Amino acid sequence: MRTFSSAVQTVLDSDNINFIYLITLEFNSTYHFTSYNTDITYSGNTYLSDGGLYEFDTPKFSSVVDREAYKVVITDLLDEMAAEFELNVVGKGVDVKVALLDSNGYPMLGTNDVLSIYKGYVDAPRITNDFEQKLAVIECTSPMSDLDTTRSFFTSKDGMDQVSSSDTSFDEIFENKEISLKWGKV
């Protein structure tokens, strides 16, 4: 069970729960963004408030298994994300955390105060440009994305060599080989 600091528990028990996002994109360069109004230092990293964080999905709880993906949208006026997308960011890490705000409106950034709400990988990045704004839309994998995965396995000597060159279990699979087995009671 997750334990929280007494300060976080006090906020959770109140009627006034406010929070901010801390988003890390582990692309070819690492990017840190926050939804807070000023830059934040957490765990040795500076999260930028003016880094272009435009939109992000809120945490969703579901009682059914679904393929709902997580989405982060960043303004890309300097073509920084477009350049990253060209270098291929599919499969790169995305980490989203939430920090609660105390009664004075300051983020609580202690070890037991920050909640991880999404940790996964980029699935479908794209740039949208409607001549008024240029956005980098980062669609991340759903926690259930592996349910659709198919992996082919070839039953041949060469197929096994791709897995392990020392495994000889498929060496004679396509050759005519006659063996005699004693069956039943000997």
pLDDT tens-digit profile of 83-141?
999 999 999 999 999 999 988 889 999 878 898 888 888 988 999 998 888 999 999 88
Please report the beta strands in 80-178, taking only residues with DSSP state E, as ranges in sequence order.
93-100, 114-129, 134-140
Rounded distance between C-alpha atoms, residue 29 and residue 83, angstroms: 11
Closest residue by Cα to residue 140 from 20, 23, 22? 23
Residue 128, strand partner residues? 135
pLDDT tens-digit profile of 103-114?
888 999 987 889
Rounded distance between C-alpha atoms, residue 147 and residue 121, angstroms: 15
Question: What pLDDT was estimated at residue 185?
Answer: 73
Read off the pLDDT of each residue in 57-79 and give the average, rounded to a whole number.
Answer: 73
C-alpha separations of 37 from 19, 22, 96, 111, 115 in Å? 12, 12, 17, 21, 19
Asked if residue 54 has pLDDT above 90, the reply is no
Tokens, residue 72: 């982060």
